[in-house]
Amino acid sequence: MVYIQWLLVMGIMIMLILTAYYSVKARRSQEPRARGLNTAHMNISMGVMLVLMSLIQMVMFSGSTVRLIVGAIFLLLGLFNLFAGLRNKSLFSAMKQQS
């Protein structure tokens, strides 16, 4: 159980670093397609991070109602970010290949 908790925490830290990296990279990018692609990567990283946070809330601690609600909100936000990031990545990748 402790190993799973450490793996989840390490996954959250890695996704946090990737989210910050792609955020800075997107803000500094001058080309709109590259900015969109970096933003899509940022959304994917943030979505995975929120899903991992929801897993920690729902699985690792005692099941109080507040923890389950917070975990469900994180899960929904994470899945939305993951879906939006994957959709935008496919759109911007197609745009980048056309030019």
Instruction: Single out the residue of 29, 36, 53 nearest to residue 90, CA to CA.
Output: 36
Backbone angles phi, psi at 83, to 5 degrees: -65, -45
Q: What is the pLDDT of residues 53-85, one digit of tens each?
A: 999 888 877 778 888 888 999 999 999 999 999
In the prediction, which pLDDT does 65 show? 86
Task: Tell me if 36 sits within 8 A of 99, measured CB to CB.
Answer: no
Q: What is the pLDDT of residues 13-41, one digit of tens each?
A: 999 999 999 999 999 999 989 999 999 99
Q: Has this prediction a pTM greater than 0.95? A: no
The pLDDT mean for the chain works out to 91
Sequence-ordered list of residues with C-beta below 8 angstroms from that of 4, at least 6 positions apart, any chain: 59, 60
